[in-house]
Structure 1
Amino acid sequence: MATRAEITTKYAREYKKASKKNKGTVLNEVMAVTGWTRDNARRRLTQAAKHPPGRGKQVASHPRQPRARKYSYDAVKILQRVWAISGGQCGKYLHTTMRILLDLLEAHNELTLGQDRYTKKVRKELLAMSPATIDRYLKPVRARDAINGISTTKPGSLLRSAITIRRAGDDVEGEPGFFEGDTVAHCGPVESGEFARTLNLTDFHTGWTFTRTVRNNAHTNILAGLKTAAREIPFQITGLDFDNGSEFLNQYVIEWAGSKGIYFTRSRPYKKNDQATIESKNNHVVRRYGFYYRYDTDLERRALNRLWRLVNDRVNYLMPTIKPTGYGATKNGRRKRVYDRPRTPFDRLLDSGVLAPKQVKDMTAYRNSLNPARIAAEIARVQDRLLVLSGKKTEQMYLASFPSALPDVRKGVRVKTG
């Protein structure tokens, strides 16, 4: 069978000379032979008629000249380095924090003008890149993480009916201080036995995050973690919203919250989306950085708490987020969510005006003292340590969870007699 290019060349001249009625006949023949649509066949024949016979191959395809690269190779390499240091932010977020990241890296001599591809021109190119361009250049180096874990939240029966169910639009959510909270189980593939829990709190208004690992979910450990959070979070906790787990809904935690004047609410039973903010942080903070290994020793818990201090600095000061502001409509009338521009939790905290002038000065100085490259290196070092401590143990537990189809040769093989 002749190629489509040859067929196009064959019918092109006939199509050009044919009347309007006969052109329809020619199109029908070309469509039957090539399988093209009518519009495609018409376009191909019209283009072929403009070229002399024998150039059907050129008619069949017109290769587009590749667009010249707008940004230099050096800029792309530095972009990849900054992206890795930032914690793998998406293009929209990295575009927002690019200037502060470059300033901090220069201040700590991690990037020096005139060395290792970094120049004033490269800096200018990085600051000029759009979010879509950043994503396009970073596409080859992105890694995908597809690991899953186990939920260990159990509904508590005592005191549950006495706790107010959180409602949309509660007044306490309109300013910093209202935190959603949850615990993440570090049980690995097996839920049995004692294992560490990570208490995770995030402010609904600003996204400020506090993370701390405790021995287990006993109320004494959870309460100790909450007291530590109240001391270390730089603004007052005005409200706490938890799920229905008994580690939160107990007399000791509720009495402590009441003594501090903290508004206490809970989500609806079995409605995980009621706590969408903290569920997102569980994945983006705890699981992403702490993995799904099993941690059940003091050494592992200490390593995790060293990790969380580094991660909290990165998340609170250097990683922006977006917040929904309402609903809009697309061009075809479909409803869509509308978000504000990306801002870091620290920036949102400054915008809220709840900090005293001395706090603003001290926290700004602390943010300016952070070295993103050192934070990234320390996070990687602690993660490597966790892998050494728990990686093999978790793998063995995973393999042991599957029953073997082979007999245990140590017990011998029973032989039927008689």
Structure 2
Amino acid sequence: EVEAEPGFFECDTVAHCGPTTRGEYARTLNLTCVHTGWVFTTTVRNNAHIHILAGLQSAVEHIPFKVAGLDFDNGSEFLNHAVINWAADLDVYFTRGRPYKKNDQATIESKNNHLVRRYAFYYRYDTAEERAVLARLWPLVNDRMNYLTPTKKPAGYGTDRHGRRTRLYDQPRTPLQRLLAAGVLSTTQQSELTDYRDSLNPAEIGRRIADLQTRLIVLAKAKTEQLYIASIPSALPDVRKGVRVQATTDTPLVSRAVPS
């Protein structure tokens, strides 16, 4: 199967809309290689096909091995003539999941949460300045995930000592280690990637990520909280309409106006 070697990616977008989908807001395009776990993340202005195409083209150019296949959900940002023709021109295998079957894209759905939401939060991003901060954030996050973060992959099923069925995982390895073990890179490519990994400073990457996250909070937190408050209907009575008083046996039901 295509998943048995590097190059088959699951793809999805994450909406940075906050509590409302009204208006224009940024989307983060997220790609994950099923075999190696290699990730590529970039933020685009919205989900118009011209921006999605630009993000996909950037992914193909920056991922250090051939993108052989792309698997999408059924969103119209992916299932359109422009994206399908682009994939055909590059000879990229194009598939889609079944409607309403999120398990068809379990790999990317998990990345949407612990990659995009973990690092970019749930705030609303709808300005050029916020997108610029995200554009600086994702290369750092991708380097941390691809070169420095070991992950486990499901390897099958087994049984525990009580006879219960359990999930089995392989030994934790970074996406780079899985890519090198796959044997699809030339000696020069392997050397370039390992040299780049050795040049990375995990502490410095962490500090820069934290600084950019702080900037995102400054730009978007208050705005998003105000949108949340505006979206919640007030539970207090409207004093301008008066307050109803329960009638007693001898008193008819009246509406008592609240003094101004």
TM-score (norm 1): 0.57
- 1 CA distance for matches of 2:238 and 2:197? 59
Write the letter of the residue equivalent to 2:118. R
Residues 123-142 of structure 1: pairs in structure 2 closer than 5 A: none
Write the letter of the residue equivalent to 2:138. W
SS of structure 2 residue aligned to 1:336: strand
Residue 180 of structure 2 corresponds to 350
Alpha-carbon offset, residue 282 of structure 1: 0.5
Alpha-carbon offset, residue 414 of structure 1: 6.6
1:262 aligns with 2:96: no
Residue 154 of structure 1 corresponds to none
Of the three residues 374, 385, 391, the one matched with 2:204 is 374
Residue 245 of structure 2 corresponds to none
The structure whose residues are more often strand, as a share, is 2
SS of structure 2 residue aligned to 1:189: coil
- 2 CA distance for matches of 1:304 and 1:380? 12
1:384 aligns with 2:246: no
Residues 228-377 of structure 1: pairs in structure 2 closer than 5 A: 228-377=58-207
Stretches (4+) displaced over 6 A? none
SS of structure 1 residue aligned to 2:37: coil
- 2 CA distance for matches of 1:211 and 1:253? 18
Q: How many residues align?
A: 243
TM-score (norm 2): 0.90
- 1 CA distance for matches of 2:157 and 2:100? 27
Residues 13-412 of structure 1: pairs in structure 2 closer than 5 A: 171-406=1-236
Write the letter of the residue equivalent to 2:199. S
Is the radius of gyration larger for structure 1 or structure 2? 1
- 2 CA distance for matches of 1:213 and 1:372? 23
For each residue in 1:67-96, what CA deviation from the matched residue of structure 2 results, as whole angstroms up to 9, or x when unmatched? xxxxxxxxxxxxxxxxxxxxxxxxxxxxxx
For each residue in 1:374-400, what CA deviation from the matched residue of structure 2 results, as whole angstroms up to 9, or x when unmatched? 000000000000000001000100000
Alpha-carbon offset, residue 333 of structure 1: 2.1
Write the letter of the residue equivalent to 1:391. K
- 1 CA distance for matches of 2:174 and 2:44? 27
Write the letter of the residue equivalent to 1:332. H
Unaligned runs of 5+ in 1: 1-170
- 1 CA distance for matches of 2:117 and 2:168? 28
Residue 95 of structure 1 corresponds to none
- 1 CA distance for matches of 2:150 and 2:235? 51
Identity across the alignment (%): 67
Give the 3 Å change call, closer, same or farther, for CA 328–406 of structure 1 in structure 2: closer
Write the letter of the residue equivalent to 1:318. L
The structure whose residues are more often helix, as a share, is 1
Write the letter of the residue equivalent to 1:286. V
